[in-house]
Amino acid sequence: MYAKASALSRYNENLMPRLLEGKSALVLGVANRWSLAYAIAQAFIREGAELTLTYQGERQKQTVEDLAAELKAHQAIGCDVTQDDQLTALTNALKQQGTVLNAVVHSIAFANREDLSRPFVETSRSGYALAQDVSAYSLVAVARAVAPVMTSGGSLTTLTYLGSNRVIPNYNVMGVAKAALESTVRYLASELGPKQVRVNAISAGPVKTASARGIKDFSSILDFVAQRAPLRRNTDPLEVADTAVFLASRLGRGVTGNILYVDSGFQIMGL
C-alpha cells in the first residue's frame, strides 16, 4: 500500500508546466547520484532551467563533469566554498558569461567523522570550527558571491535537518552547525529581501545518501522515522527536489526566511 502511495506522490510531468523555463540555476554540492543535490539538479533540468554545477577540487572534477554531461547541464565550475578566492572566481566567471542567476541551491555540509561518532562533549575545537565553516558560514559566503549576479532577484535555498533543534543520536556537532545555518537563513532573508532575493531552507527527513553513512547507527534512525512519521515512510529525494523547484519558481515568490519540512510529517511528533 505504501509503495503505491509513494509512487502516486511522485511528480506527474503530464500535469505540470516547465516551471523554470528560461531561468538560470546554480547547484552547489552535487557529489554523486545519491545526493539530494543531484535529485534537485535533475528536477531543475526537468523544469527547463539552464543549470550550472560546482565541484570541489580536482578529485571531484571528473565525477561532477560526468554528472553534468549526463544531466545535460550547461557547465560545471570548480569552487571550494571555504576558499574566498574561488568564490570570487565563480562570481567573475558568471559575470563574464553574462549570466543572471535566478536560483541557487546550497547543499554543502561537513563534519569530521570522529566528531559524529563520539560524545558531543568531546567535540574538538578544530572539529567544531570546521563544521561551522563548511556547513553554516559557507551559506554566507555563497550568498555574497551570487548576489551580484542575481540582479533580477530569485531564490537561494539550503538544506537542513531536524537535528538543528532536537537532539538526534550521533548527529552531534552537525546539529549545532545546522542550527547556525537556519539562523543564517533568517538573517540573509532579511538583508537580501529588498533585492527580491528569497532565502529559505528545506528540512529533509533522513535519506540514504553517501554523507549519511558517516552518522553512526543511521539505519536505526531510518527505521524509527518510517515507524513513527504520520505518513509511515521515509522521505523520497524527489519530494525534496520538487520542493526546491517550488521555491525556485514563481509559485514560491512570497516565501522567504522559512524552514520547509519535507519529512513525512515526522517533525510534529512528540514520541
13 occurs within a structural domain: no
The tally of domains found in the chain comes to 1
10 occurs within a structural domain: no
Question: Domain holding 97: CATH number?
Answer: 3.40.50.720
How far, in whole angstroms, is CA 110 from its chain's centroid? 13
14 occurs within a structural domain: no
271 occurs within a structural domain: no
CA dihedral 247, 253, 254, 258 (to 10 degrees): 20
6 occurs within a structural domain: no
Per-residue pLDDT in tens (0 to 9) along the chain, 271 residues: 344 444 444 555 555 679 999 999 999 999 899 999 999 999 999 999 999 999 998 889 999 999 999 999 999 999 999 999 999 999 999 999 999 999 999 999 999 999 998 999 999 999 999 999 999 999 999 999 999 999 999 999 999 999 999 999 899 999 999 999 999 999 999 999 999 999 999 999 998 766 656 566 777 888 989 999 999 999 999 999 999 999 999 999 999 999 999 999 999 999 8
Please answer whether residues 99 and 25 qualify as being in contact, where contact means their C-beta atoms are separated by less than 8 angstroms: no
Q: Whole-angstrom Cα distance, residue 269 to residue 130? A: 32
12 occurs within a structural domain: no
Full-model pTM: 0.91
DSSP characters over 240-258? HHHHHHHHHSGGGTT--S-
Question: Which residues are annotated as catalytic?
Answer: 161, 171
The pLDDT value recorded for residue 6 is 46
270 occurs within a structural domain: no
Q: Whole-angstrom Cα distance, residue 247 to residue 256? A: 9
The pLDDT value recorded for residue 208 is 74
What is the domain extent for residue 135?
19-265
DSSP 8-state symbol, 216? T
The pLDDT value recorded for residue 109 is 96
CA distances (Å), origin 4, targets 9, 43, 138, 206 = 9, 21, 39, 20
134 occurs within a structural domain: yes
Kindly report, residue by residue over 168-189, the tens digit of the pLDDT. Answer: 989 999 999 999 999 999 999 9
Sheet holding 197-204, edge to edge: 75-78, 50-55, 24-28, 103-106, 154-160, 197-204, 259-262
Radius of gyration in angstroms for the set of CA atoms belonging to the chain, rounded to a whole number: 18
The pLDDT value recorded for residue 7 is 44
